[in-house]
Structure 1
Amino acid sequence: MVKLFSATHKKNTKQPKAIEVIIDGINHQGHGVARHQGKVCFVEGALPGETWRAKVVEDKKHFIQAQGLKCLTASADRQTPPCKWAETCGGCQLQHMQPQAQITAKQSFVEGLFSKVKLHTLPWQTNLQGDDLHYRNRVRLAAWYEGKQDKLHIGFRQKRSKKLVAVDRCLLAAKPFETILSALRLQLDSLKDKKYVQHVELHQVDPWSIIVLRVAQPCCREDIQRLTQFSEQNNCVVFVQSGTSPALPIDGVARELSYSILGLKMHFELADFIQVNHQMNQQMIEQAISWLDLQPSDKVLDLFCGSGNFSLPISQHCQFVAGIEGSESAVQRAQHNAQTNQLKNCQFSTKNLAEQAELKQINWGEYDKILLDPSRDGAALLCQQAHNWQANSVLYIACDANSLVRDSQFLDDAGYKISKIALVDMFPHTAHVETMALFKRV
């Protein structure tokens, strides 16, 4: 038999290159940004103003991804993270940075994006800020059942991984969950059918602290009894959701869920989208009303209106508000909220605002002012219609700064210029950037 020669491949024993860089900003992921030999270099965990020795992980044509080895010169804005899981948990990216410095860095990030489209001076207003801890009224945790150990873990995904960081507290969750979460972790691990637990959601809907368990199959009677006892001992309400069925309270008591905004009662269901930072939501609505300078004769168009979070408070200051939303259930909720608050100058309709044909159905000339609050994808197609608008003011609320910059170019082409801009610190200690920009027709 002939033995064929097979060359052995030499192992790549080349050590990753170490570089020294000076950080001058952060990117959309909260990573430090530097320059090295003409390329952009990203260093996770590095802060503006710091000097780092870093190991090159990826060296691409236009950028370098590096892993920090040692901080040679630390920023005065660096702090010890308040959470002990900050370095491994994927929930927060900026806990090592003082809260006010986070705002400054995010503002610089937005300025950098606008400078790419030749807009170098922005009319910044006072940024909106609130509490930097315990601000989330809704938190979702993943669950993982470790079969060999017969143990259920709950927590958040690790950075750059699908693995779980098991936690017994979260400093961003509403204050009542600070003690409840620790007890809940132990209680869930004691369930007979704990392997079917998939996710855990924490909702603070005053006056209730609500826990929603999402399970692969209905809980057995024994587990229901244990969860009932837990809810009584910890002064909370437990809901269970199995499959595609709605979440139901284990005590069988129906509850009316709502939050208050400027004297209005906003009803919602647990599955509805609402702003998770109530404090910042209220500030944002108040600023929207102020910036739009609403007059009794104004007719306002609220695009991506959801369940009326902006529409209903605005309707108290103008003649008429029309809200348009892609979700039929959200429109029904908005209509219900208008009725229960006895607001008769609101009208809501369902339209896909990413479809050209449906945009043509809108009578743009009817409205004096426009508010739009799109998803991260922004509203490119919508803003391309701006030359048809008669509104003198457009308020754009952006949860993605890149989308805002892109869409601002369409508004600019139609004669709308940025009159005011501010950050909304909706998610402190994360890389998320929320921005409000007022455009005026000139």
Structure 2
Amino acid sequence: MAQFFKEKPNKSKQLSAKLTLDVTQLDHLGAGIAQHQGKIVFIAGALPGERATVQLIEQKKSYAKAKLIHIASPVKSRVLPTCPHYSQCGGCDLQHMDTQAQREYKQTALVDLMSKLSSSEKIGADKMAKPLVGEGWHYRRRARLATLLDKRTQRLQLGFRAANSSNIVEINQCPVLATSLSELITPLAANLNQLKAKASLGHVELTQAENGHFVVLRVTKSLPNSDVKWLSGFAQKHQLTLLLQDDAGELTQLYSPLSSDKDAALLPFYPLANNTVNCYFSPGNFVQVNGEMNQAMVDQAIDWLSPQPGERILDLFCGVGNFSLPLAKKAADVIGVEGVPDMVEQARQNACDNQLSNVTFYHADLSADLSDQAWLGKIDKLLLDPARAGAYESLQWLHKMQPKKVVYVSCNPASLARDSSVLLDNGYRIAQVGLVDMFPQTHHIEAMVLFELAK
């Protein structure tokens, strides 16, 4: 949704008089930026080139935040949001901007960021990779929905969190979800409301995988047999795998249309490397929600790293093997390291299922002292795919690794900026920068950067 700032309840606090401001650009969170009395004013929902009527709702020494009241002169890139829940739901914040304009904004923000980092070498067109883009809608193959039981009506609400709030916005569709998952929301909510123990339900996880649809219901207490039977019937009717997850994280399968002698086949999976690798994962494991962009991203990483037989390639923050397995398919010797033990075990199983003997997975806290790790040493190439916190601690060991090439996959421009400085200070140069439009209709920027050791 467009994140219109709401005033906190405070009887002594008054809104400013209405102001008319000219919006000049967007900030890194997708809010419009204007100037007023020497201060920067952030206006969520406003676009560059627009004249906006606003009210200031928060003032600091050097900036202010404003609530958008009216757009007097909308720009061509402004569109009517597709989602009927957009004004309340906190999932999207750029649906009021057409998809192409969103990508141009993200590309500009990424170029500006990387240019500021490397003052000695401007990030020109020769260093910019073609943006990886796909479908702007129905791209999410996974989502977690929250539940809330209305104590007055005893009705269970199913939806997403509201913007800047813990409140739940009840939804009946989601246009960024895969169509089959979006269409499941209404019948699922109706069936959950038929349960006797609906007060024991927590979040609901929906997943579209290559081998079907998976629904995980978080339960705080054991469900009565009648509820289990009801849910099993629902899963059978819709031909989906339905599992219950308890407080300890243990999973109980109620129904699955899948049948196989291999346990892995009962897990969701997605294909990689031109369908030559299957990457299985468990509920709770991290996987990229945009399958199309993930495949494009993996292909680009392989192209940039150009793995050769006999090379030693290190994949830090490897998850269940999203990059490690396709890299190993290219005959390189691959080492994957991950901080979540369950994901390490799944990655090892994935290597076995894909008959890849040239990839080894290790568990390690990548923010800790790595000096005693057996895998730490000279490598040819390095891939980093950290969470939002980045890879700063891991990069302190560059002097031991000395890779010729580094591919950094980032979901947070701030940590990318910080970590890129470490690489530049250690003799690397920026060879390629690429936008990955992983999350259309939101301000989130996914990026890939190729660093090469300067000769």
Q: TM-score, normalising length from structure 1? A: 0.92
Say which SS state the counterpart of residue 384 (structure 1) adopts. Answer: helix
Structure-1 residue corresponding to 2:282: 269
Give the direction of change, closer, same or farther, for the CA distance of 1:53–1:339 in structure 2 (3 Å limit). same
Q: How far apart, in 2, do the equivalents of 1:405 and 1:13 lie?
A: 37
Aligned length: 431
Which is further off, 224-233 or 370-379? 224-233
Q: How far apart, in 2, do the equivalents of 1:353 and 1:164 lie?
A: 35
Q: How far apart, in 2, do the equivalents of 1:414 and 1:94 lie?
A: 37
Structure-2 residue corresponding to 1:45: 45
Q: How far apart, in 1, do the equivalents of 2:34 and 2:181 lie?
A: 39
For the pair 1:217 / 2:221, whether they are aligned, the reply is yes
How far the C-alpha of 1:22 sits from its partner, in A, is 2.5
How far the C-alpha of 1:361 sits from its partner, in A, is 3.7
Q: Contact conserved, 1:155 with 1:164, CA < 8 A, in 2?
A: yes
Structure-1 residue corresponding to 2:245: 241
Structure-1 residue corresponding to 2:161: 157
Say which SS state the counterpart of residue 216 (structure 2) adopts. Answer: strand
Structure-1 residue corresponding to 2:450: 438
How far the C-alpha of 1:295 sits from its partner, in A, is 2.3
Which residues in structure 2 correspond to 1:370-389 (within 5 Å)? 370-389=382-401
Q: How far apart, in 1, do the equivalents of 2:448 and 2:159 lie?
A: 32
Structure-2 residue corresponding to 1:420: 432
The amino acid that maps onto 2:272 is I
Which of the two has higher C-alpha Rg? 1
Q: How far apart, in 2, do the equivalents of 1:278 and 1:140 lie?
A: 16
Give the direction of change, closer, same or farther, for the CA distance of 1:441–1:95 in structure 2 (3 Å limit). same
Which residues in structure 2 correspond to 1:85-164 (within 5 Å)? 85-117=85-117, 119=119, 121-122=123-124, 123-164=127-168
Q: How far apart, in 1, do the equivalents of 2:189 and 2:377 lie?
A: 56
Say which SS state the counterpart of residue 419 (structure 1) adopts. Answer: strand
Specify which of 372, 392, 405 is matched with residue 417 of structure 2. Answer: 405
Q: How far apart, in 1, do the equivalents of 2:269 and 2:367 lie?
A: 30
Say which SS state the counterpart of residue 73 (structure 1) adopts. Answer: coil
Q: TM-score, normalising length from structure 2? A: 0.89
Q: How far apart, in 1, do the equivalents of 2:37 and 2:118 lie?
A: 25
Specify which of 259, 268, 280 is matched with residue 257 of structure 1. Answer: 268
Q: How far apart, in 1, do the equivalents of 2:181 and 2:332 lie?
A: 42
Say which SS state the counterpart of residue 85 (structure 1) adopts. Answer: coil
For the pair 1:301 / 2:314, whether they are aligned, the reply is yes
For the pair 1:283 / 2:296, whether they are aligned, the reply is yes
Structure-1 residue corresponding to 2:406: 394
Q: Contact conserved, 1:301 with 1:322, CA < 8 A, in 2?
A: yes
Structure 2's unaligned 5+ residue stretches are 1-10
How far the C-alpha of 1:247 sits from its partner, in A, is 2.4
Q: Contact conserved, 1:378 with 1:403, CA < 8 A, in 2?
A: yes
Which is further off, 118-127 or 297-306? 118-127
Q: How far apart, in 2, do the equivalents of 1:306 and 1:13 lie?
A: 48
Which is further off, 190-199 or 419-428? 190-199
Q: Contact conserved, 1:134 with 1:174, CA < 8 A, in 2?
A: yes
Say which SS state the counterpart of residue 79 (structure 1) adopts. Answer: coil
Q: Contact conserved, 2:319 with 2:343, CA < 8 A, in 1?
A: yes
How far the C-alpha of 1:274 sits from its partner, in A, is 1.5
Q: How far apart, in 1, do the equivalents of 2:188 and 2:156 lie?
A: 11
Which is further off, 217-226 or 395-404? 217-226
Q: Contact conserved, 2:204 with 2:215, CA < 8 A, in 1?
A: yes
Say which SS state the counterpart of residue 417 (structure 2) adopts. Answer: helix
Structure-1 residue corresponding to 2:5: none
Say which SS state the counterpart of residue 47 (structure 1) adopts. Answer: coil
How far the C-alpha of 1:360 sits from its partner, in A, is 5.8
The amino acid that maps onto 1:409 is S
Q: How far apart, in 1, do the equivalents of 2:302 and 2:84 lie?
A: 40
Structure-1 residue corresponding to 2:3: none
Q: How far apart, in 2, do the equivalents of 1:399 and 1:61 lie?
A: 30
Which is further off, 181-190 or 138-147? 181-190
Identity %: 36
For the pair 1:337 / 2:341, whether they are aligned, the reply is no
The amino acid that maps onto 1:102 is Q
Say which SS state the counterpart of residue 157 (structure 2) adopts. Answer: strand
CA shift digits 1:87-130 (9 cap, x unpaired): 11001111111111111111222234345446453521111011
The amino acid that maps onto 1:61 is K
CA shift digits 1:44-101 (9 cap, x unpaired): 1112222212111111012111111111221211111111001110011111111111
